[in-house]
Amino acid sequence: MELSQCLAKELSQPQEFVAAVIRLLDEGNTIPFIARYRKELHGGMDDTTLRTLEERLHYLRGLEKRRQEVKSAIEGQGKLTEALSAAIDSAATLAEVEDLYRPYKQKRRTRASMAKEKGLESLALTLFAQGRDCPAPETEAQKYLDAEKGVATVEDALSGASDIIAELISDDAALRKELRALYLRRGELISVSKDAEAEDSVYRLYYDFRAPLSKLQGHQVLAINRGEREEVLKASVALDRDAALVAVRRAVLKPGSASMAFVRAAADDAWDRLLEPSLERELRAALTEQANEGAIRNFGLNLRPLLLQPPVKGAVTMGLDPGYRNGCKVAVVDGTGKVLDTTVVYPTYGARQKQEAIEKLSALIHKHGVVHLAIGNGTASRETEQMAVELIRAVGGGVSYAIVNEAGASVYSASALAAEEFPAFDVNLRSAVSIARRLQDPLAELVKIDPKAIGVGQYQHDMPQARLNEALEGVVEDCVNAVGVDVNTASAPLLRRVAGLNAATAKNIVAYREEHGPFTGRRQLLKVPKLGAKAYEQCAGFLRLPESENVLDRTGVHPESYVAAEKLLALCGFTLADVAAGRLTDLAEKLRAIGTAEAAEQCGTGVPTLLDVAAELQKPGRDIRDTLPPPVLRTDVLSIADLKPGMELTGAVRNVIDFGAFVDIGVHQDGLVHISQICDRFLHHPSEQVSVGDVVKVWVLEVDEKKHRISLTMKPPR
């Protein structure tokens, strides 16, 4: 089957669209560019579908490469038959290819290989054939006695033959496939505490745990794996031995032969000694891989809405990085993120120091016209929040605060990038700047941080790091390009996430504008060193120039569609000046009157591109984040002691995991909405209903002050 045909079937997409995407990828086009500017060729697939297609394309090409390698290796041994070649070609997974290669792979010295060295392979094959005229094993074994080779007795000969038969059975690809399926239907993952007197810990749920593989959750697999690594748990995959032996015997036994009982004993040995431990290792690895993929997918689902949180634009903001020993670090930034002032206060040192902090911060608020406070949610956050409420009262109101997820702020502060950006600032003050900017423009600030450090996943340090990085980098790239980037104000870390650009070209863009002044048109980008025609094609549509005289440079219209955009305007009786003035309110109506297909033909473009161009012309420079719910800004604070069952609250979703969602309700501890409490319908995963950044209404179910646990529900009380 052709790659395009196979992928089309997997993704339920027309083959011609899939073939077009493969061609575009092979030509060096990026996913954001294909998703946004080549819709006619792929029928409107979104970036997530395109990335899945790209991943599967790489897998299938790797599978085909491995098929050829295996066939070549077997052919080199002179053992490749037409039937085996066809079986390898039709293998759907790498595991199936490896199963077929298993009998021909160079193995370390085994009991079977030692028996073959003693000349017992022919005996084993004769007995394993179980022919009608096969003599009794003891009789046949007499022919193979050879004291010099170490086969002094019939028992020696039969023992060696049994080892060879057991290995043949273990290497049977069809049997291994059948047993894997049996494991998945009837197998269980079992975990127990390694210590009979184990103390209460985060692994207490797994001290005596068993669950069918068919119903196992990814977070359970990852928790048990970590518990094993920390030597708290002992785990195994179990399958009923009798059921397994039935499957093995059915696959290899031929009734009526004198050697059947001998082969049955060898088959039982094959299961106990070879198949069961081998398949258990494979299944544990497969379960872990599946759990990793689920966790990585969940991380991406959480990261996307976090990056796309609506910015709190244009307001002077004070960032507070709470702390005990080193005090609370403070940075005031203007509406563009430029640092205006910094200081350190010590509100947790005592009542006098707290009052001094309020007076000092009040002066900064009045001096710079601070509108919002951004408070990091780390150590001493609760005390800092309490102080912030008193501070707001002290200045007479007009100021609000938000709790900002500070995950990764310390990583950024100590990075070379932060040192380059703020060489004169202490490491701790840099994090306060980062926290303030996270409220103003989460995307622009968070792209400076390793996505793994942002803290919206689970078990991220247990994941295969290369795979995790690849997936998260893709999410960041999609988000940056969906929003668009102002080429005259963007930092190099933000620019390098734009399709077609890399770290070197991003730095060159910054260097060029510092030397020559702001860019005045998109074509000017071609003067940037090392930014060639292909890179320009990929990045141009995602880079905005709000100050450009050509209004199309301020939009997401790609330069290749400028002529089509001008033809569309003329067709509907408008000019570029109307676009700049926002006078295109009835463009959609006029376009419908003409007919989109007719208009597309007259403009020399496809219908999807024409509709995208029309949408951009109606709202030049729009930010897709402006349509999302804004962050929760507060002026008062609750403590966990204030919470009572049944209390109604509004909060922001901070993290979505396999078993629920954590919601910030304005107390220091986020509350958990279990998956069963999110809505009345059945959910396979909480992400079907909620996303990071969502503003939701919740009700308190239960509060455990001692353990700092808050249980919430999103189901209204009846």
Quickly list DSSP for 365-401.
Answer: HHHHT--EEEEESSTTHHHHHHHHHHHHHHTTS--EE
174: left (phi over 0), alpha (psi -120 to 50) or beta: alpha
Residue 120 in contact with residue 144, Cβ under 8 Å? yes
pLDDT at residue 706 in the model: 82
- The DSSP letter of residue 453 is G
Q: In whole angstroms, how far apart are CA 22 and each of 19, 42, 56, 280, 307?
A: 5, 10, 11, 37, 29
The CATH 1.10.10.650 domain(s) of the chain lie at 3-104
Q: For domain 640-713, which CATH number applies: 1.10.1060.10, 3.40.50.12280, 2.40.50.140, 3.20.10.10?
A: 2.40.50.140
pLDDT at residue 229 in the model: 93
Tokens 């198949």 sit on residue? 275
Q: For domain 514-627, which CATH number applies: 3.40.190.10, 1.10.150.310, 1.20.5.440, 3.40.50.10420?
A: 1.10.150.310
Amino acid at 665: I
Enumerate residues 6+ apart whose C-beta is below 8 A from 540: 522, 525, 558, 559
Amino acid at 381: S
Distance CA 612, CA 600 (A): 11
Three-state secondary structure call for residue 392: helix
Q: In whole angstroms, how far apart are CA 72 and each of 79, 80, 235?
A: 10, 8, 39
Average pLDDT for runs of 10 along the chain of length 718 = 90 95 97 96 93 95 96 95 94 92 89 95 94 90 93 95 96 95 96 84 90 93 94 95 96 92 96 96 94 90 88 93 91 93 94 94 96 89 88 92 84 86 87 93 89 76 87 92 94 94 96 94 95 96 93 95 95 93 89 93 95 92 81 74 86 88 84 93 90 89 87 91
Q: In whole angstroms, how far apart are CA 679 and each of 514, 526, 655, 685, 716?
A: 53, 52, 17, 12, 9
Helix (H) or strand (E) holding 55: helix 47-76
Enumerate residues 6+ apart whose C-beta is below 8 A from 499: 30, 31, 32, 33, 477, 481, 538, 539, 542
**Has domain 317-478 been given CATH number 3.40.50.300?**
no
pLDDT at residue 1 in the model: 61
- pTM: predicted TM-score of the whole model, two decimal places: 0.81
Three-state secondary structure call for residue 47: helix
CATH node for 3-104: 1.10.10.650
Residue 691 in contact with residue 301, Cβ under 8 Å? yes
The CATH architecture assigned to 111-187+239-299 reads: Orthogonal Bundle (1.10)
pLDDT at residue 64 in the model: 95
User: In angstroms, how far is CA 174 from the centroid of its own chain?
Assistant: 34
The CATH 1.10.3500.10 domain(s) of the chain lie at 111-187+239-299
Distance CA 10, CA 164 (A): 40
The CATH 3.30.420.140 domain(s) of the chain lie at 317-478
CA-closest candidate to residue 663, choices 710, 610, 598: 710
User: In angstroms, how far is CA 323 from the centroid of its own chain?
Assistant: 31
Tokens 């709202």 sit on residue? 619
Distance CA 479, CA 447 (A): 10
The CATH 1.10.150.310 domain(s) of the chain lie at 514-627
Longest dimension (CA), the chain: 104
pLDDT at residue 421 in the model: 86
Residue 40 in contact with residue 12, Cβ under 8 Å? no
pLDDT at residue 637 in the model: 64
pLDDT at residue 626 in the model: 83
Tokens 């005031």 sit on residue? 332
Helix (H) or strand (E) holding 682: none
Distance CA 324, CA 375 (A): 14
Residue 436 in contact with residue 317, Cβ under 8 Å? yes
- The DSSP letter of residue 200 is P
- Other CB atoms within 10 A of residue 706 CB: 6
- The DSSP letter of residue 272 is I
Residue 411 in contact with residue 449, Cβ under 8 Å? yes
pLDDT at residue 86 in the model: 95
Residue 670 in contact with residue 710, Cβ under 8 Å? yes
Tokens of 279: 């398949």
